[in-house]
Structure 1
Amino acid sequence: MSSLLTSPTRSAAELQAELRHRRPLALVATLGGAWAALATLVVCLAIGVVGWFLTDSGAYGAPRDALRAGATGWLMAHGSGLHVRGVPVTVVPLGLTLVCAWALWRVGHKVGDSISGHGPDADRIADGERDLTVPLAALLFAIGYAVSAIVVASVAGTAATGLDVGRVGLWATLLSAGVGGAGIAVGSGRAAIWLTGVPATLRAGAAACRAVLLAWLAVSAAVLVVSLVVDASTAANILSQLHTDAGASTLYSLLTASVLPNATLFAGSYLLGPGFTVGAGTLVSPSAVVIGPLPMFPLLAALPGSGATPGWAPWLMVLAPLSAALGVARVQRRFPTPRWEDGAVRGLAGGVTAGLAYGVLAALAGGAVGPGRMADVGPLVGEATLRAVVGFGVGGLVAGLAMTWWQRRRFLADADADAGDAATS
């Protein structure tokens, strides 16, 4: 700090900029975690109050009930679960969880920028000096977020709602440490320094995993949207039977949006072959559809009818290796290689890792949504993960080898052209 005050060559703007990146680490990181929690919580509280007014102009209940409902929705995005008249609802609205993750990333990135002046510089880190700036900041950030979530759960929870405070603390800790910690690493510039020491094959494999997973989620979302469009009249009929006004329809739309990522993962399990359940004793897959009575929820209009499936339905399973091949091919255009082993490892490792990542997401998508048979709703995780690992792995391996063959031809052609130029000169 004394060097900053005594250096005669620094301008006031430069001093302010450097001091801005040397803010107190403990204070900035802890308050950053609490602020990330508060930012999304306030939005949920506002939606709860607005929904209360939209429903019969707030004739039932009190504003505190609306605030509790908004807080409960926020807590469910952190795995709290809920009891409705003694019936457990454990499904996690992943759409709201994604919003919380986005807020954690943005706030974490700003926290990282604020503390980027702490610790050794890039040259000292490259020389092997230990740097605990990011781990310490991520720990304090996670503590601030998790403590805030636990406090909200303790205040909003009642004996009737049955919120699981322990699960809230675990989800909040993992989410804030993972997403917020990554944002801190990127914002502080440490991630860029660390990546320079990572082998190119490993970086390409990680990029392939990301590309394959995103490609598969995009395909699954597209199939879900097409199914909803085809059965749009059924969804409209469900809303009409519910006799919802404009306010209630808005709330239904928000609720539907909060579980769209869940439905996308359900669609992915369907396309992989195993399918998913919408109640005990049910199955929705390309080879068989067995559905019983369902609750009145517009998103369920995308489900196919019970009975025999079309002859083309099983062919949908080829989308998995094709999606993986497309993702790996796009990545290998950015990371070209003439070596067969590099192309094979990148494609295979990226595809297999993406399959495992999909399995983790699919496991988070299901849960109990009602009494009796509706306590079993979700993808068939084990079989879907196995199919994803095999399908993505095969598609990634084939694409990796095919792109390597194509790039080897280009490398050889360029080498021949260079040799010809050298000979003529």
Structure 2
Amino acid sequence: MTSELLDQRRSRDDLRHRRPLALIATLGGAAAAASTLVVCLAAGILGWFLTDAGSHGEPRDALQVGALGWLMGHGSGITVEGTPVSVVPLGLTLVVAWTLWRIGIRVGDSVSGHGPDADAIADGERDLTVPVAASLLAAGYAVVLTVTHTLAATPATSPSLGRSLLWSILLCLVVGGAGIAVGSGRAAIWAAFVPVALREAAVTCRRILLGWFLVAGLVLVAALVVDLDTAVNVMSQLHTDAGDATVFTLLSLSVVPNAIVFSGAYLLGPGFTVGVGTLVSPSAVALGPLPMFPLLAALPDDGTPPAWTAYLMALPLLVAFAATMRSQRLAPTARWDEGIIRGLAGGVLAGLLFGLLAAVAGGAVGPGRMTDVGPLVLDTTVYAVTAFGLGGLLGGVLATWLQRRRATQADRAENP
């Protein structure tokens, strides 16, 4: 009897992991899109009631605002009173990416029984389970996005369907596809074919980026705390009540990741612009008239910065050095080539990825001067690759030397 129950349980588990791939993946993509869209629609309704208790406009107007905000999180951009606004609220994009990751893992688990098994894959048999599932996930997502664009877009707002589709497909294939690979177990199988040095380089890259975002975020918070009075004064001049302040705070939170990338570009040295002809960097600050936005209170004063700000540019090298040392402490190696590859490749990859984030963090936020707001992308990428790569290289060399030294001392102790 016990054997029969076990057989039945195994049969149910096998069926659970062999659900229809096309149906599960397509519905997963649609669910990922709909879940974040519903949150944005609810936020639009909430903001409508908080600002004027629903005395102006209609609920469909609030729903349209929420839908347009969701599309902006996919890079669509919009036009406000004839002025293009192309900046992407990366806070919303991160929520979308996290949702795709979680649903991708569930889809991967549901379709893990499709395709060849681990032994067949190791023997070189072609396995298209993950690419097919990721493509269908993207297709389901694109359908929801296209319908939303059709219902929410107007000639006055003109969000770009092409850009939003491109962003959604990339997010589905990269983030959702990675989730499917992990959930289906393919990622673990594929990782076995990757050299250890490259796998550890990827781990080093992740640690460098996380460390850098932490440092940049702390510097941003410190700058806001120092000029907190300015931020409060901005809010008071906007004459906002409790509802308006809540909506304004939510809007500010949606671009906090953008501000952290700006902070990282500043600490690297090249800095960023907050309007045509402006520059904010450790060596020079040239500002003009600025819009009334609380996060801008973190900007340094116009003019020549204090001499000590130049030393901030040592932070990226130190972060990469510390992250590489920690990675090698958790996964030690006594081989010079592996230690160098881990640190240098991890640092260079982290620099390239940060440069990519710098490219998508900026954009137009208003008319006139405010059409150019964002990090200096090319310079930021070069500085990031150099600083992170050098810090990773030094960390890899030092960590390898220390580990070889410990190994030599242990060998001498065992064989005096």
Taking structure 1 as the reference length, the TM-score comes to 0.96
Cα distance in 2 for residues equivalent to 1:87 and 1:418: 74
| SS at 1:292 equivalent | coil
Structure 2 counterpart of 1:105:
101
Structure 1 counterpart of 2:173:
177
1:342-395, CA deviations, whole angstroms, 9 ceiling, x for partnerless residues?
211211111111111100000000000000000000001111111111111111
Q: Is 1:146–1:169's contact at 8 Å kept on the other side of the alignment?
A: yes
Q: CA RMSD in A?
A: 1.2
Cα distance in 2 for residues equivalent to 1:14 and 1:349: 44
Cα distance in 2 for residues equivalent to 1:287 and 1:126: 54
Structure 2 counterpart of 1:423:
none
| SS at 1:58 equivalent | coil
CA shift, 1:334, in A, is: 2.1
Question: Which of 27, 43, 48 lines up with 2:44 in the alignment?
Answer: 48
Structure 2 counterpart of 1:407:
403
Cα distance in 1 for residues equivalent to 2:266 and 2:83: 28
Q: Is 1:153–1:168's contact at 8 Å kept on the other side of the alignment?
A: no
For residues 115-264 of structure 1, the aligned pairs below 5 Å read 115-264=111-260
Structure 2 counterpart of 1:342:
338
Q: Is 1:277–1:376's contact at 8 Å kept on the other side of the alignment?
A: yes
Structure 1 counterpart of 2:286:
290
Kindly, what percent of the aligned residue pairs are identical?
A: 63
Instruction: Give the counterpart letter for 2:78 in structure 1.
Output: L
Q: Is 1:89–1:367's contact at 8 Å kept on the other side of the alignment?
A: yes
Cα distance in 1 for residues equivalent to 2:385 and 2:121: 37
| SS at 2:415 equivalent | helix
Instruction: Give the counterpart letter for 1:240 in structure 2.
Output: S
Of 88-97 and 116-125, more deviation after overlay is shown by: 116-125
Question: Which of 354, 358, 374 lines up with 1:358 in the alignment?
Answer: 354
Of 38-47 and 130-139, more deviation after overlay is shown by: 130-139
1:1-42, CA deviations, whole angstroms, 9 ceiling, x for partnerless residues?
xxxxxx968433222222111110000000000000000000
Instruction: Give the counterpart letter for 2:145 in structure 1.
Output: A
1:322-356, CA deviations, whole angstroms, 9 ceiling, x for partnerless residues?
01101111111122111112211211111111111
Structure 2 counterpart of 1:383:
379
| SS at 2:307 equivalent | coil
Cα distance in 1 for residues equivalent to 2:17 and 2:192: 23
Of 120-129 and 100-109, more deviation after overlay is shown by: 120-129
| SS at 1:181 equivalent | helix
Q: Is 1:220–1:267's contact at 8 Å kept on the other side of the alignment?
A: yes
Cα distance in 2 for residues equivalent to 1:133 and 1:342: 33
Of 164-173 and 204-213, more deviation after overlay is shown by: 204-213
Q: Is 2:78–2:158's contact at 8 Å kept on the other side of the alignment?
A: yes
Gaps of 5+ in 1: 1-6, 421-425
